[in-house]
Amino acid sequence: MLLATYANAQQFFIKGGLGYDFPQAGQSFSGYGPYNGSITTNNNNSTTYDYKNNSSFAAGLQGNIGLGYMFTEHVGLEMDLIAGLASKKYNNAQYVDTGSGSSYTSSINANTPILLAPQLVLETGGTKFNFYARGGLVLPLYAHFKEVDNQVSTQAGSGTFYDTYTSDVKTGFSLGFTGAMGIQYYLNENVCFWGEVNLLSMSLPVIESDLTDFTENGVSYYSQISSSQPTVTKYSKSFSSINGTNQNVNNNNQLILPSYSIPFSSVGIHAGIMYRFPKSSRSSGRSHTSARQTRGGRPQ
């Protein structure tokens, strides 16, 4: 009988790259004001609303590193670590009074979010140009946001006050999805450049906001304000409000507000370099040749 062998395309690879992401299917309003826009109270007591395009806090410069394994020439698995290196900052003016000069403006941006993305990889198996597609889940490992609120108010006989509140906004776990289509160009058997268009779909629930600093006219008063009023805000889907407002204070002196989600979906264009380790081969037979033998041991 003929005993044949086969070589498996089992192969590890590592990759790294950079790219820029744009908002995709995001939101424009958080429930407390626009992410990117303004609400202005005019002298005639009318209100002007000006919302910009949909927002996504995954937008901006991103970097990623990945490790993968090809089980065959066409099918493999990949694990990517994605980091927001320079996330887009959104500015809004939730309240501007053109008559008194009072205003309440804020800015918010993601503070170097880190995501983990296990994915299935499909490839055409080309030796010079290789087309691929991948898709899988996204798990947020770290997703905090920096929010800076600025309030300008004028009091008769006291002048104008410029207050700045800085907060660390924390989010809870939320499962997302990602996918990409791209092309690889091989410089040699192991090294290639790659470029792709990818998609991220996810939103993150806000669970807590911690006040980290408070200044008035350039002077920090955080130690004074932290001893007199709540500096931690919890966001909940179930609580009872007090005094006809949409807020409460729990037994730990923490402010309770209705929860909302932060948009984190994007479309990106990324490029980078990949190194494929030498392929491993194994034999399914005992020999690379075959021969029929007689009882005397000599081949016929």
Sort strands 159-171 and 144-155 into parallel, antiparallel or unpaired: antiparallel
Nearest 10 degrees: Cα torsion 116, 141, 90, 66:
-20
For residue 39, give the amino acid letter.
I
> What single string gives the DSSP state of each residue in 239-278?
----TTSS-EE-TTS-EEEE--EEE--EEEEEEEEEEEPP
**Between these two residues, 182 and 244, which has the higher pLDDT value?**
182
Average pLDDT, the chain: 83
Residues 178-200 have pLDDT tens digits of 999 999 999 999 999 999 999 99
Alpha-carbon gap, residue 24 to 201, rounded angstroms = 8
Question: 292 forms bridges with which residues in the sheet?
Answer: none
Q: What is the mean pLDDT of residues 203-225?
A: 90
Residues 126-140 have pLDDT tens digits of 989 999 999 999 999
Band of pLDDT at residue 32, cut at 50, 70 and 90:
low
Q: What is the pLDDT of residue 298?
A: 46
Alpha-carbon gap, residue 18 to 222, rounded angstroms = 38
All structural domains of the chain with their residue ranges: 11-231+243-276
pLDDT at 272 over 80: yes
Cα angle, residue 38 at apex, residues 33 and 40 outer, rounded to 5°: 105
Q: What is the pLDDT of residue 161?
A: 87
Choose from 7-11, 106-110, 183-187 the range with maximum mean pLDDT.
Answer: 183-187
Q: Which CATH entry fits the domain spanning 11-231+243-276: 3.40.50.300, 2.60.40.1730, 2.40.160.20, 3.40.1390.20? A: 2.40.160.20
